[in-house]
Amino acid sequence: MLRFDHAVFDYEPYPICYSTDILDAQTYERLVETYPDRELFEYKPNLGHKYSLSEVNNPVNYQDFLDNSPVWKDFYQHVKSPGFVGNILAMLAANNIDLGLRRIRVLRGKSKRKASLLSRIRRQTELNARFEFSMMPADGGQIVPHTDAPDKLITLVISMMEPGEWDMRWGGGTSVCLPSDRTRVFNHMNKALPFDQVDTLKTFPFEPNQCVLFVKTYNSWHHVAPMSGPKDAPLRKTLTINIESRV
């Protein structure tokens, strides 16, 4: 379902892709219209000021929502398919980002940390794709600078909003950053830093039907700076897709 016809890549300080029109207009409209309600979400202050609904956060609400939303259930099944993961890896390789994954096994089940004994014997890399509904208030919503957990390989953040719903003056863009103290650039284990200890290098604006994709590296620092919208403004809604490895 995802289209990267308009993808633009940056390669420094780590691989990141910005793509508009990531979904066809009709599919995008249906997904936005049926996005889950706020009361289903779990508040997650550990990485800033956001709400989450996923396999991990409020899993009962998550599964119940999918079971009662044919549009999102279809999208969920697509993301869980081997073809989805293979297409993302192929797209990256075609843009000189080869993760070197030659013996992969894509699993459809829920995310787990440990690879199976069979995959270990066969020297296969087990991959799992999952997605998270995420929302932040325009008044102070934020995600502090971090690099993502070691088991994440690829992250895609897709905006979920009606055209004209979001005022870009409020912020909400995804920013690439590095620690001001460059001795802290290496961050494989995903320690977070406060905003005043990083230098923002580039910000990708928060626009309808867009995707920001980045590869997890030792220095894949990124954040969403505190937003400045009014309290009655719409929430910043996104869909985050993670492709993870089991070790």
Query: Domain map of the chain by residue range?
Result: 8-246
Choice among 8-12, 80-84, 110-114, 154-158 with the minimum mean pLDDT: 110-114
β-pairing, 16-20 vs 210-215, is antiparallel
| Residue 91 CB coordination number (10 Å) | 16
CA dihedral 75, 16, 151, 245 (to 10 degrees): 60
pLDDT score for 121: 41
Average pLDDT over every residue of 99-128: 67
**Which amino acid, residue 59?**
P
Distance (Å, whole) CA 14 – CA 25:
30
| Residue 168 CB coordination number (10 Å) | 10
First to last CA, the chain: 29
Answer yes or no: is pLDDT of 122 > 60: no
Interior CA angle at 59 toward 233 and 80, to 5°?
A: 95
pLDDT score for 106: 83
Is 84 or 112 the better-scoring residue by pLDDT?
A: 84
Cα atoms in the 13 Å half-sphere on the side-chain side of 45: 0
Answer yes or no: is pLDDT of 110 > 90: no
User: In this predicted model, what pLDDT tens digit does every residue of 143-188 receive, in sequence order?
Assistant: 999 999 999 999 999 999 998 999 999 999 999 999 999 999 999 9
Average pLDDT over every residue of 195-223: 97
Average pLDDT over every residue of 53-80: 95
Average pLDDT over every residue of 3-11: 97
Measured in degrees and rounded to the nearest 5, phi and psi for residue 224 equal -120, 110
Is 36 or 246 the better-scoring residue by pLDDT?
A: 36
Q: What is the mean pLDDT of the chain?
A: 92
Average pLDDT over every residue of 48-63: 94
Coil, helix or strand at residue 179: strand
pLDDT band at 22 (very low <50, low <70, confident <90, very high): very high
Pick the CATH number of 8-246 from 3.40.50.720, 2.40.30.10, 1.10.287.990, 2.60.120.620: 2.60.120.620
- The token duo for 86 is 């293979």
pLDDT band at 114 (very low <50, low <70, confident <90, very high): low
pLDDT score for 125: 81
> Is the link from the previous residue into 208 a cis peptide, with omega within 30 of 0?
no
β-pairing, 16-20 vs 48-53, is unpaired
pLDDT band at 116 (very low <50, low <70, confident <90, very high): low
Choice among 50-59, 66-75, 112-121, 221-230 with the minimum mean pLDDT: 112-121
pLDDT score for 123: 61
Choice among 15-19, 90-94, 124-128 with the minimum mean pLDDT: 124-128
Is 102 or 166 the better-scoring residue by pLDDT?
A: 166
pTM for the structure as a whole: 0.91
